[in-house]
Amino acid sequence: MTSITTAAINRPALGIFYICLGILAISVNDMLIKVLSGGYPLHQMVFTRSAIGLVFTFGFVFAEGGLGLLRTATPGLHLLRGLLVVCANMTYFCALAVLPLGQATALFFVAPLMITLLSIPILGEKVGPLRIGAVVVGFAGVIIMQEPWKADLSVSRLVMLLPVIAAGFYALMQVLTRRLGMTTRASALAVYIQGTFLMVSAAFYLVAGDGRYAEGVTNESLIFLLRAWVWPSPDDWLVFLGLGICSGVVGYCLSAAYRLADAATIAPFEYIGLPLAILWGWMIFGEWPVPATWAGCVLIIGAGVFVFLREQAKARPTPGRRARWGRR
């Protein structure tokens, strides 16, 4: 069996690279799912993209050491992690079928704030007052983007709550990734998640794949979840292939990022998904953000950049520090 050290891994620069690449793939994935959401059920998309993504993920497994990496002493924790990400995806995508892409993404972006805060009690990571302050500023930006002063909402409060619920599942999943990543390679973590997606979506097909539970339903999110499977058209197969490639990249990169660096360091870089979502919303769906969305983005991205700069400053040795300690 390939041995992996149980000591904490701390390579923040590489972790930041992986999270940025992963978030780029997530933004493309979300855009493609929204494109397909009018004609296919969610569990069909999840099954197809995971089946394709699993092929790419096994390529990462062989590159990192072979099938022996998949052996684990904690199968229950890996199953829990997989179920958390399945719940996060299902709740988020049900909202995405109804909400504008930028708005759904903004609601979901309480997740990095939750990750940063959960890393303190669960992982014992140290987060100083300056980074806590940056989290508060970013959270204020998220609130502004939701325009809580408006009473005339075009969708129900429950639908707007779905991305926030998804963020909670996602935050717990990534904090657990950091713990499991001390003994498990990123490629193996990604295989476990893809396998969980396949099992859950296949079970969903067996129960509701014929669309029987969608009859008489008027809620668009539930229709997206419960409609019958449809054989994809030739053009849509290319979109499904894109989903599968994105799924493989996301599964590996996010697992690698939270395995290589502190959750509190990595989480703020997920905010690059906000401008990407706005870009896709404008280019593909003709959605243009309101001024409150722009104001929130400035606060959120600014908070993330500050956390990065603070981390870099902490990593640099202070001139004279060694000399002072040498005299003690």
Rounded to 5 degrees, φ, ψ at 156 are -70, 160
* Amino acid at residue number 37: S
Distance (Å, rounded) from C-alpha 271 to C-alpha 297?
9
For the stretch 201-259, pLDDT in tens is 999 899 988 988 888 888 888 888 889 999 988 889 999 999 989 988 887 888 788 78
Domain ranges of the chain: 12-316
Q: Is there a contact between 62 and 257 (Cβ–Cβ < 8 Å)?
A: no
The residue assigned the tokens 């449809």 is 230
Q: Which amino acid is at 233?
A: S
Q: For residues 18 and 156, what is the distance between their CA atoms, to the nearest angstrom?
A: 35
Contacts of 323 (CB under 8 A, 6+ apart): none
* 313, burial (CB in 10 Å: exposed 0-12, middle 13-18, buried 19+): exposed
What is the rounded distance in angstroms from the CA atom of residue 41 to the CA atom of residue 272?
A: 28
Q: What is the pLDDT of residue 8?
A: 55
**pTM of the predicted model as reported, rounded to 2 decimal places:** 0.76
In total, the chain counts a number of residues equal to 328
Residue ranges in the chain modelled with pLDDT below 50: 1-7, 320-328
Residues 137 and 299: beta-carbon distance below 8 Å: yes
**Do the Cβ atoms of 23 and 276 come closer than 8 Å?**
yes
Mapped onto helix, strand or coil, the DSSP state of residue 98 is: coil
Q: Are residues 97 and 220 in contact, defined by beta-carbon separation less than 8 angstroms?
A: yes
Element (H, E) at 260: helix 234-260
Tokens 């940056």 correspond to 134
Give 195: exposed, middle or buried? Use CB within 10 Å, 0-12, 13-18, 19+.
middle
